[in-house]
Amino acid sequence: MKIAIASGKGGTGKTTVSLNLARSWGEPVRLLDCDVEEPNCHVFLPHAIEKSDVVTIPVPQVDEELCNACGECSRICAFNAIVALQTKPLVFPELCHGCGGCTKICPQQAITERGERIGVVEIGRKGDITLVQGRLDIGVPLVPPLIRAVKRHAAGAETVILDAPPGTSCPVIATIGDSDFVVLVTEPTPFGLHDLKLAVDLVRKLGLPFGVVINRSGMGDSRVEDFCRREQVPVLLEIPNDREIAVAYSQGRLMVDAFPEYQARFSDLKETICNLIEG
Amino acid sequence: MKIAVTSTGKALDSSIDPRFGRAAYFILFDQNSNTFEVIDNSPNLNAVQGAGIQAAEKVVKLGAKGLISGHCGPKAFRVLATAGIAVYNTEAGTVAEALEELQAGNLTQAASADVAGHW
């Protein structure tokens, strides 16, 4: 079972919900931090990381002895990452998506692939939680290939919780696209509502079952709840706008650890999600 | 010799487009015949990525030997330099003014890109 925790707006509490849900799950769970540009689940699971694997994508390298400057590689590349004029091809590795098209089409077999590093996947464990997180190298624009590398570690796990990046673009789709259920975390503010609507459009387009968690409930108005009622979106959980929760968070403590009464609420969240998936 | 000039419009008195890869048009001016043709750059203007590279490839294929633009980034410059095309940066207002500057020898060939990518 794969449960993705997403949101339109950043900073609504995806990581908070992911971690607290994982901690209260009651069985071993694999937590995948797919927010590879700024992974932060590890902050709440200190010293958990045990190993780090380098992730590369295949980029072309041209053997100029074999190349006859026919230009086929340039024609097939949808990303302008290889350009052949009447000269030997120029390669722009930073634009390459690693599809392998140029390597396959080259009639001279002058193109081979080498691995270009894009980041690392880090793995560790704390209690029942196995944490897998991606960490993209600074300056690398290719997010989805690293997310896919993180997700390969979902194999064999009974329960997978995916902490998605914010937004509604490629990295989010790469994270949530094949999940069984999506939890959209929002907050009762105009920004929260605006971006929630975008996220709802996205998960509907992807045809994924979903529900909403309202974080910092009570800080704004009722427009998020009104929207959910009107659109018949289930509200799975409301987390109150409580200073004590924020204080515990700032100390790197999970809500369910700092305030045991929240264990039951996150267990209920688990049950609600499981029922909706089966229902 | 043919010179490509980045332009916001289709005429010699059109304003220079300061961008290269995402320029609206290229005016391809033939110095031998004093004639020009207009090349629509909208496919590159709307490219997701690599607009400069693709535009440079186009300029090479058009047979231009020189390029005049407001600015030229590093990837485009690398393609143009490999193909032996001279790059000139200008602050001229119109395409015609830029061509006059070149004719009068007032433009210096750029030795490198004058801006970073995605400026």
CATH number where A203 lies: 3.40.50.300
Interchain contact B47–A (C-beta under 8 A):
yes
Report chain A residues whose CB lies below 8 A from the CB of B54.
80
CA distance linking residue A18 with residue A166, whole number of Å: 13
Q: At residue A258, does pLDDT exceed 90?
A: yes
Q: Are residues A236 and A159 in the same domain?
A: yes
pLDDT at B101: 95
Q: Are residues A156 and A97 in the same domain?
A: no
Fold of B2-103: Nucleotidyltransferase; domain 5 (3.30.420)
pLDDT tens digits, A17-28: 999 999 999 999
CA distance linking residue A208 with residue A198, whole number of Å: 14
* CATH number, domain containing residue A64: 3.30.70.20
Give the closest residue to B57 by CA, choosing from A125, A74, A239: A74
List the 55-84 stretch of A: residues with Cβ below 8 A of B. Answer: 74, 79-81, 83
**Residue of B44, B46, B58, B75 for testing the chain A interface, max A β-carbons within 10 Å:** B75
pLDDT tens digits, A162-176: 999 999 999 999 999
- pLDDT > 70 fraction of chain A, expressed in percent and rounded: 100
| CA pseudo-torsion sign B87, B90, B95, B97 | negative
**Residue of A62, A85, A95 for testing the chain B interface, max B β-carbons within 10 Å:** A85
3-state SS class at A254: coil
List the 20-49 stretch of A: residues with Cβ below 8 A of B. Answer: none
- Test B50 with A74 for CB contact under 8 angstroms: no
Interchain contact B64–A (C-beta under 8 A):
no
pLDDT at A52: 97
pLDDT band at B118 (very low <50, low <70, confident <90, very high): confident
Q: Average pLDDT of A102-110?
A: 95
pLDDT band at A129 (very low <50, low <70, confident <90, very high): very high
Count CB atoms within 10 A of the CB of residue A194. 12
Report chain B residues whose CB lies below 8 A from the CB of A86.
83
Inter-residue contact A181 to A273 (CB < 8 Å): yes
Segment among A43-47, A134-138, A211-215 with least mean pLDDT: A43-47
For B50, the closest of A79, A86, A87 (CB atoms) is A79
Q: What are phi and psi of A102, to 5 degrees?
A: -65, -35
Inter-residue contact A123 to A55 (CB < 8 Å): no
Report chain B residues whose CB lies below 8 A from the CB of A67.
none
Q: Average pLDDT of A72-88?
A: 87
Distance from CA of A241 to the nearest CA of B (A): 41
pLDDT at B47: 81
pLDDT tens digits, B8-31: 999 999 999 999 999 999 999 999
CA distance linking residue B44 with residue B20, whole number of Å: 10
Q: Are residues A126 and A69 in the same domain?
A: no
Q: Are residues A128 and A265 in the same domain?
A: yes
Distance from CA of B113 to the nearest CA of A (A): 16
Report chain A residues whose CB lies below 8 A from the CB of B61.
85
Calculate the alpha carbon distances from A216 to A88, A163, A186, A259, B108 in Å. Answer: 58, 19, 9, 16, 60
Q: At residue A87, does pLDDT exceed 80?
A: no
- Test B83 with A87 for CB contact under 8 angstroms: yes
pLDDT at A69: 87
Domain end: A86, A117, A148, which one? A117
Helix, strand and coil percent figures for chain B, each rounded to 5: 30, 25, 45
Q: What are phi and psi of B36, to 5 degrees?
A: -145, 155
Q: Are residues A95 and A125 in the same domain?
A: no
Q: Contacts from B112-118 at CB under 8 Å and sequence distance 24+?
A: B112/B74, B112/B77, B113/B72, B113/B73, B113/B74, B113/B76, B113/B77, B114/B71, B114/B72, B114/B89, B115/B71, B115/B72, B115/B73, B116/B73, B116/B74, B117/B52, B117/B73, B117/B74, B117/B75, B118/B73
First-residue to last-residue Cα distance in chain B: 30
Q: Are residues A98 and A224 in the same domain?
A: no
Q: At residue A114, does pLDDT exceed 80?
A: yes
The CA-based angle A220-A222-A224, given to 5 degrees, is 95
Say if strands A90-91 and A82-83 run parallel, antiparallel, or are unpaired. Answer: antiparallel
Interchain contact B49–A (C-beta under 8 A):
yes
CA distance linking residue A15 with residue A34, whole number of Å: 10
Q: Are residues A42 and A109 in the same domain?
A: no
- Test B53 with A95 for CB contact under 8 angstroms: yes
Nearest CA in chain B to A90: B79
Q: At residue A57, does pLDDT exceed 90?
A: yes
Q: Are residues A132 and A231 in the same domain?
A: yes
Q: How many helices (H) and strands (E) does chain B have?
A: 4, 5
Nearest CA in chain A to B78: A90
Domain count of the fold of chain A? 2
Calculate the alpha carbon distances from A219 to A187, A222, A223 in Å. Answer: 8, 10, 12
pLDDT at A84: 85
CA distance linking residue B12 with residue B35, whole number of Å: 10
pLDDT at B115: 85
Interchain contact B56–A (C-beta under 8 A):
yes
pLDDT at A88: 80
Calculate the alpha carbon distances from B44 to B6, B10, B16, B79 in Å. Answer: 13, 17, 17, 15
Q: Are residues A201 and A239 in the same domain?
A: yes
pLDDT tens digits, B35-75: 999 999 998 888 878 899 999 999 999 999 999 999 999 99
CA distance linking residue A120 with residue A221, whole number of Å: 41
Over chain A, what is the mean pLDDT?
A: 95
- Test B49 with A79 for CB contact under 8 angstroms: yes
3-state SS class at B2: strand
Q: Are residues A67 and A166 in the same domain?
A: no
**Residue of A73, A90, A142 for testing the chain B interface, max B β-carbons within 10 Å:** A90
Q: Are residues A36 and A92 in the same domain?
A: no
Interchain contact A85–B (C-beta under 8 A):
yes
Domain end: A117, A146, A168, which one? A117
Q: At residue B99, does pLDDT exceed 90?
A: yes
Q: At residue A244, does pLDDT exceed 80?
A: yes
Domain end: A70, A92, A117, which one? A117
- Test B79 with A80 for CB contact under 8 angstroms: no
Range of the domain at A152: 2-55+119-278
- pLDDT > 70 fraction of chain B, expressed in percent and rounded: 99
- pLDDT > 90 fraction of chain A, expressed in percent and rounded: 89
Q: Are residues A218 and A107 in the same domain?
A: no
Say if strands A111-126 and A49-62 run parallel, antiparallel, or are unpaired. Answer: antiparallel
